[in-house]
Structure 1
Amino acid sequence: MSESVAAYRERVRSWLAEHTPSGWAEKLPYADESQVLAFYRDWARKLHSGGLLVPHWPARFGGEGAGVAEQLIIQQELSRAGAPRPRYLAISLGHAAATLMQHGTPEQQRLLAGILEGDVWCQGFSEPEAGSDLASLRTKARREGDYYVVNGQKIWSSMGLHARWCLLLARTDPDAPKHKGISLFIMDMRSPGITVRPIRQATGAHEFAEVFLNDVRIPASMLVGEENNGWRIAQTTLTTERYAQMIEVHAGLTELLAQLVRESKTTPAPDGRPLAEDSAFRQRLAELAGAIEAFGALNDRVLGAVAEGRDPGARGSILKLFFSQLLQQLTAFGVRSQGLSAQLDPRRKNDLSYTSGDWMLDHIRSWTWTISAGTSEIQRNIIGERVLGLPKEPR
């Protein structure tokens, strides 16, 4: 590690030691959602004041033009300090920002300043009949003078209940091939004609929402790129990978494993001895520990490719598939190990990170990872076609 990088790490570590909110992990899970949203907005502004929110953004947009190494250091030190991530702003800081920077007009790029102040964005992509086959979407946008009039329905819109802005895909040419007649818009979620209905999850949270659009008028100036070119532009949003955040994921898995070890010392096995002394338990624990170590090594390889400016390609699919399966296996093992005590309702409603430490809630939520950011079936197709050289799936 160069001296400059080491100094950067020390600066980040010192800042977090001074500014990380105390007790947030105990209070926030049970707080009202308006309080949670206010907390994340305030924390995002503080992170930005310390240069830790968007250091990789170009300076003209409020960043520092930092490289991958600096981003990795920040993620590592956030995990080390037990500091919160601005989770409600994940789409704002990642997908929305990448799309605006690469494809937005100067007027549209002015919205980036709002992201730094805590504006929440959501995506209006998936529909009831257009999930994995997103190009089959039916929401329509019709040009009328200086506006587009939009009608349709979106589903599984993360943060849709709290969003100020939405990246919206709509069909603008119904006669064109399905990939060719789609446009991308920036939609003000306060516009008349928008109805947002929360989707309550099995965990009690409502991170997702349905969005109904009835004659919603979007200014033509909020069309991103050219009309009917939205599918290509949307790939920026769909493929904006946040590999550095996999450090947080790995830290969460490691902490769950450590929690399982701690609990096994006081949890009785069927024969009355501590579970930690049960040979079958210890064997499975070792297998999961090895898998977590392998996930970390695989993540290092992917991050190494990104740091060198290379496209990780299908490795990203391997990483995502590996993680979603591993999280399911680890949390299921935790539920079985804890027995009836894992069935108790901890009243935890707010999803604050990838893992919470409540075995049943984490296990239920782990299944969403097999769907979000590309289903496991889609990931296997990518791996089969691009890595193993198998024939493409018949259309």
Structure 2
Amino acid sequence: MSTEHLSLAAAELRSVLERIMPAHHAKWGDSDEWEALTDFQRELGTAGWGASSWPVEIGGKGLDVPDQLACDEEFARAKAPRRVAVFGTNNVGPTIAAVGTTEQKKSLQAILMGDEIWCQGFSEPDAGSDLAGLRTKADVTDDGFIVNGQKVWTSIGLNATHCMLLCRTDPDAMKHKGISALLVPMDTPGLTRRAIKQINGEAEFAELFFDNMFVPRTALLGPLHEGWRVTMTTLGFERAGVLSVAGNLVGKVTAMMHSQHLADAPAALRDRALHTYSKALILEWMGQRALAETTDGPGAVSSLIKLFWSHLGAEFAEVNADVVGIGLIAGLEPDAANELLTSRSSKIAGGTSEVMKNLIGERNLGLPREPR
């Protein structure tokens, strides 16, 4: 796309990337090592693009969702490294800006510059995506909290410097009550982390263990026992992220449709691919509808898009594997192989399909709540 057809924001970002990407490649090549990724975040922060969706007054660009998606396309076009500060810029940072103390808001600049990389301590072994069922407890003391418990499937948990941690601070309250959000440095004594090795050999996730970990009272984000409300604030900032990953999938399906592999495929396989492509177009239309909505809280259109995206992603991975054929097994198509190996996780990450269906049924369709 020529610059005259770009939004002002996307055109500015294109110029920034054209300036910083050559130096980044000269230093790191195509490395996806953690140091290279955090260095890229610092380069973005220095250029004023650390968190483009944030309001201007806290260091962002104040971009709306359509501009954010246009900028995501520019990152993809430039083949820029993935942005590892995503949980800090998309979730934790905006929540701190909304409900944090003056002292806590000092982290905003550190997030922008890549000096603080945040993860989210939400999912647990016995609760999964049911945040209200979490059991990690934080006993309230005069000057803070004593935390004991475990988190699992914590994205970038091995490398993050800080964690937004959900704990149960009132065990006698109802499931959605008595939860508090704590801001915890990952080098806090009593916190240990262990890699979760994935089927593709990577370790993107971690288990977190808390053994009598002391956290000062100043780490409390928002009111005591009101962590559920704080969490809903956090999840409410995920709209652009949901639309972005959906758009990425549409792009992958479209690329498959234009590939020589598919042109050479049997008619039956081309028919399967066309069926997948039709679903991708539906996903794209759902995203356009979401953009037209003036409001979209957690569990509304975003939940429907996430559910559809996760199942379509698994379907695409299988069809694409058949399209590229023997090259996948021979190691000639690493991207397609990785897509196939990791595609099932999309039905779990960010909320399982079962949880998404409950949200859609209860909040979109007005069905009775599932018995708890």
TM-score, normalised via structure 1 length = 0.83
Change (3 A) 1:23 1:264: farther
Mapping of residues 354-393 of structure 1, within 5 Å: 358-393=335-370
2:117 & 2:55 partners in 1: Cα distance? 20
Mapping of residues 101-112 of structure 1, within 5 Å: 101-112=97-108
Q: Which residue of 2 aligns with 1:218?
A: 215
Q: Which residue of 2 aligns with 1:268?
A: none
| 1:333 CA drift (Å) | 0.9
- State which structure, 1 or 2, has the greater radius of gyration over its C-alpha atoms: 1
Mapping of residues 190-209 of structure 1, within 5 Å: 190-209=187-206
Q: Which residue of 1 aligns with 2:20?
A: 19
Q: Which residue of 2 aligns with 1:325?
A: 311
1:384 & 1:72 partners in 2: Cα distance? 28
Mapping of residues 327-342 of structure 1, within 5 Å: 327-342=313-328
| 1:213 CA drift (Å) | 0.8
Stretch deviating more after TM superposition (70-79 or 336-345): 336-345
Change (3 A) 1:155 1:360: same
Change (3 A) 1:200 1:41: same
Q: Cα deviations across residues 259-302 of structure 1 (Å, max 9, x unaligned)?
A: 4643526xxxxxxxx733x2212212222222222222211111
Q: Which residue of 1 aligns with 2:236?
A: 239
1:296 aligns with 2:284: yes
For the 8 Å contact 2:90–2:237, the answer to whether it is kept is yes
1:158 & 1:145 partners in 2: Cα distance? 32
Q: Which residue of 2 aligns with 1:116?
A: 112
The residue type paired with residue 318 of structure 1 is L
1:389 & 1:140 partners in 2: Cα distance? 32
1:51 aligns with 2:39: no
Q: Which residue of 2 aligns with 1:270?
A: none
Q: How many residues align?
A: 366
| 1:227 CA drift (Å) | 1.5
Gaps of 5+ in 2: none
Gaps of 5+ in 1: 266-273, 347-355
| 1:196 CA drift (Å) | 0.6
| SS of 1:239 mapped into structure 2 | helix
For the 8 Å contact 2:163–2:185, the answer to whether it is kept is yes
Change (3 A) 1:141 1:327: same
Q: Which residue of 2 aligns with 1:275?
A: 264
2:66 & 2:361 partners in 1: Cα distance? 31
% same residue? 37
2:6 & 2:78 partners in 1: Cα distance? 18
Q: Which residue of 2 aligns with 1:157?
A: 154
Q: Which residue of 2 aligns with 1:100?
A: 96
For the 8 Å contact 2:170–2:178, the answer to whether it is kept is yes
Stretch deviating more after TM superposition (356-365 or 140-149): 356-365
1:298 & 1:357 partners in 2: Cα distance? 30
Q: What is the aligned-residue RMSD (CA, Å)?
A: 2.8
TM-score, normalised via structure 2 length = 0.88
Mapping of residues 308-323 of structure 1, within 5 Å: 308-309=294-295, 314-323=300-309
Point out which structure has higher relative CO (alpha carbons under 8 A, 6+ apart): 1
Mapping of residues 161-200 of structure 1, within 5 Å: 161-200=158-197
The residue type paired with residue 151 of structure 1 is N
| SS of 2:259 mapped into structure 1 | helix
| 1:390 CA drift (Å) | 3.8
Change (3 A) 1:358 1:4: closer
| 1:23 CA drift (Å) | 5.9
Stretch deviating more after TM superposition (295-304 or 63-72): 63-72
Aligned with residue 70 of structure 1, among 62, 67, 70: 67
1:66 & 1:358 partners in 2: Cα distance? 31
For the 8 Å contact 1:75–1:245, the answer to whether it is kept is no
